[in-house]
Each structure stands twice: as structure tokens, then as C-alpha cells.
Amino acid sequence: MLYFREWGEYPMNSLQKRILKDGKALPGNILKVDSFLNHQIDIDLLRLMGRDFYELFKDKNISKILTVEASGIAIACYAAEYFKVPVVFAKKGSHKNVGPDVYTAEVFSFTKGPSYEIAVSKLYLHPEDKVLIIDDFLANGQAVLGLQKIINEAGASLVGAGIAITKAFQPGEQLLLDAGIDVRSLAAIESMEDGNVIFRSDS
Amino acid sequence: MLYFREWGEYPMNSLQKRILKDGKALPGNILKVDSFLNHQIDIDLLRLMGRDFYELFKDKNISKILTVEASGIAIACYAAEYFKVPVVFAKKGSHKNVGPDVYTAEVFSFTKGPSYEIAVSKLYLHPEDKVLIIDDFLANGQAVLGLQKIINEAGASLVGAGIAITKAFQPGEQLLLDAGIDVRSLAAIESMEDGNVIFRSDS
């Protein structure tokens, strides 16, 4: 069962409502949202999320949205529509299709094996770019740190990171804040013990 | 240099025009479209492509769009908006996050190693579904055949395959037609010798 601690005390956004309706909290702090976010995709929800990300970062003169394949792509696209900027998605693993001139970063993964490489072609990140990172989940923060390294190598500016779902009880969010990144989440989950999802009230 | 054999004789669609403007034909029949389609993404183009896919299949009562991560996802989403249906994207490789109840298929890959597995949760494909496959490239057709196997296992109906760019000089398109699939492409490339991209006139 999912519930919201202070239901009704302040308005929830579309993603929070949907998590409570269709998300599944499983043992081991696993939140399954694959009926609407990262396996099956509800386009109407993504559009609402895109608008919410825009509201969070609209004053930042974003020129490009950067994400990582695969489940960040759709979310990034619908945010990009509101900002009217292109999306670039970093490729995972072998990047021979990207070409020889790439920025790369090693990403340590807690769920998918020891580590993997991400790559972005040098053609699509420039020193004048003001980059917003968008991703579906923030838990340990390693993917965002990898993207930050790539943005730094390009000499571009990292304006912030817009995360759909942040597991605020895991170390990633604080790690990114410590790295100077303006992290904002549509749904920051404070705890999910016994299958009860509790959102932090500032998200 | 890219050119269109019969420029002006009939109207090109948005993707064809963009391929001629920004695509790069490299030796070995490689067409680089990563400045607008599968690394950096131009959202406005995707919207126009989505409308073109809708025009091709709008009479087919599509209930779901199926694609494969990663580069098919954005294209599938913008097609899905016009059909007003959800997108499901098959996961590649390890699918422990998908759950235990999955349909799987083995996909032989000519570019990414010997083969890889794709998986779709049984929760998101049903016997009553009329499924449109969307993908960015069709060359050898193996990914679409894998998706067809998954659709068959679910007892759903495969209505057709909408492909952004088909290399019509490679065997995939004929393979899919032989398998009874209604394949339609926004840009079917007849040849790309010496860096000249020639579209087939029916695409």
C-alpha cells in the first residue's frame, strides 16, 4: 500500500499522485514505476512532468538538456519541449557509433555491475551551453556525477539537475549538493518502509 | 555530399529534408543522423515525424506502440501522442529490473556483437492489443523480428512497423515483408554510394 503522510495538506504534482496510484513499493527500497515511467510510458504524464521541470528551471537560460540512455530520454524530451532546446543523451557502454571525438566518464553502478562508461560526442556540447541534466531516478548519484564531468570537460555550464524521483534516504542527493549541483526533484521520497511511500514536503 | 535524385519532383517529408541537410553519409553505408535523431534530438522534427507515422497507420486502431531502447524511445513517444496510446519499450540485455514475468527474444546483431536479449513485461502486452512497432533504423531487421516474436507470444496483433530510416539496400525490409509485416518508412534509402543519399520514391 502507498500513502502520503500529509495528504491534502498541500497539493501534490502529477508525478507524486501517479506514484501513489500506480507505483509499487517492493522490499529492498525498490519503487516500481514501470507501468507509466520507465518501461511503459504514459505520454500525458510526461507532458505534465515536462511543464513542472520547466517551472523549476525556467529562469536559467537553459540551452541544452542532457540525459543518459535509456529511461531518461522520454522525460528529457518532454522537458525540452517547454525549454525549446535540443536533448542530448549520453550513450552507455561501447560508443563506437558515437565517433572518435567524445567526452567520456566512468559511472560506478550499484545495480548494473561494477561500472560502465558514458559518452557524449564533442559536437553537441559547447562552452557557451547552459546545460540542465534530466534523469528518471536519483539514488546514488553516480550517473549525474558522470554527466557533470562531461559537461566540465566541454567547458559548458551545468545549471542544475531535474530528477523525476529521488530516493532522498540514499546518499546520491547529498553527494550532488556537495558537488555544487542545484538538484530539484518532482518526487523526493523520504522513506518507503513497509511499502509506504512518504514524500518529502518540499518536493 | 547528399542529394536527392528527383529533387522537386514530389514533396519530401520533414525527415527526408533533414537527412539531406544534416545527415552524413560515411564509407561503409553508414548514415550519421546523430545531430538530430539518435544522439542529439530535435524535438520539433520528432513531432513532425510522429504526425507522419500517424498518417501512415491512423486507420489501424493502434492500442500500443512498441519499440526497443534506446534510440527508438523518443520517436515512439511522439508517434504515440498522435495515436493517444502508451509506449512500451523493450529492455536490452539484463532485464532483472523488468521482473520475472517477461516475454523475451534473442536479437542477432550485426553491429553490436553476436546477439542480445530483449524483454517486455507480460503486464504491458495483452491479447487485445493492436501493436505498432516504431524504430529509428531498419537495416537487417533483427530487432523488429524479435519484437514480432514477443507480440506473438503475448497473443497480441502486430499491425505494422513504422521505421524512420530504412536502408532498403540491406536485407531487413524484405525479411520483414516476408514475415507478413506491414513495413512503412519515412525515409527509405535506395542507395548511398559515394556519399550520395538516394531515397526511394515511394517513401
pLDDT of residue B112: 63
B40 close contact with A: CB closer than 8 A: yes
Q: Do B77 and A35 touch (CB under 8 A)?
A: no
Label residue B179 by pLDDT band (50, 70, 90).
very high
A103 close contact with B: CB closer than 8 A: no
Nearest to A91 among B39, B46, B87 (CB): B39
Please say whether the beta carbons of B150 and B90 come within 8 A: yes
B190 close contact with A: CB closer than 8 A: no
Which residues make beta-bridge pairs with B116? B107
pLDDT in tens, A28-85: 999 999 999 999 999 999 999 999 999 999 999 999 999 999 999 999 999 999 999 9
**A6, pLDDT greater than 60:** no
A199 close contact with B: CB closer than 8 A: no
DSSP structural state of residue B34 = T
* Share of residues in chain A with pLDDT > 70 (%): 91
- Which H or E run contains B87? strand B87-92
Q: Do A39 and B86 touch (CB under 8 A)?
A: no
B41 close contact with A: CB closer than 8 A: yes
Nearest to A70 among B43, B69, B86 (CB): B69
Q: Average pLDDT of B135-152?
A: 97
Q: Do A35 and B124 touch (CB under 8 A)?
A: yes
- How many Cβ atoms are within 10 Å of A195's Cβ, its own excluded? 13
Distance from C-alpha of A29 to C-alpha of B136, rounded to nearest angstrom = 35
- Is the pLDDT higher at B95 or at A9? B95
A35 close contact with B: CB closer than 8 A: yes
Q: How many helices (H) and strands (E) does chain A have?
A: 5, 11
pLDDT in tens, A121-167: 999 999 999 999 999 999 999 999 999 999 999 999 999 999 999 99
Which residues make beta-bridge pairs with B138? B166
Question: Cis peptide leading into B70, omega within 30 of 0?
Answer: yes
C-alpha cell at A57: 528551471
Q: Do A40 and B74 touch (CB under 8 A)?
A: no
A33 close contact with B: CB closer than 8 A: no
Which residues does chain B have within 8 Å of residue A70's beta carbon, measured at their own beta carbons?
A: 69-70, 73, 89, 91-92
**B184, pLDDT greater than 60:** yes
Label residue B201 by pLDDT band (50, 70, 90).
confident
pLDDT of residue B3: 46
Q: Quick check: helix, strand or coil at residue A125?
A: coil
Helix-strand-coil percent breakdown of chain A, rounded to 5?
30, 30, 35
Label residue A98 by pLDDT band (50, 70, 90).
low
Q: What angle do CA A131, A132, A136 make, to 5 degrees?
A: 145
pLDDT of residue B55: 97
**B4, pLDDT greater than 90:** no
pLDDT of residue A3: 46
Q: Quick check: helix, strand or coil at residue B69?
A: coil
Amino acid at position B131, single letter: V
pLDDT in tens, B12-63: 899 999 999 999 999 999 999 999 999 999 999 999 999 999 999 999 999 9
pLDDT of residue B2: 46
Which residues does chain B have within 8 Å of residue A88's beta carbon, measured at their own beta carbons?
A: 39-41
pLDDT of residue A1: 37
Q: Average pLDDT of A97-110?
A: 85
pLDDT of residue A2: 46
- How many Cβ atoms are within 10 Å of B6's Cβ, its own excluded? 10
Nearest to B70 among A46, A70, A99 (CB): A70
In A59-171 the beta strands, taken as DSSP E runs, fall at 64-68, 87-92, 102-108, 115-121, 130-138, 157-167
Label residue B10 by pLDDT band (50, 70, 90).
low
CA atoms within 13 A on the CB side of A125: 31
Nearest to B40 among A34, A39, A124 (CB): A124
B86 close contact with A: CB closer than 8 A: yes
Average pLDDT over chain A, rounded to an integer? 92
What are the CB-based long-range contacts (under 8 Å, 24+) for B177-184?
Answer: B179/B145, B179/B148, B181/B133, B181/B144, B181/B148, B183/B138, B183/B144, B184/B56, B184/B57, B184/B160
Label residue A96 by pLDDT band (50, 70, 90).
low
Q: Do B39 and A98 touch (CB under 8 A)?
A: yes
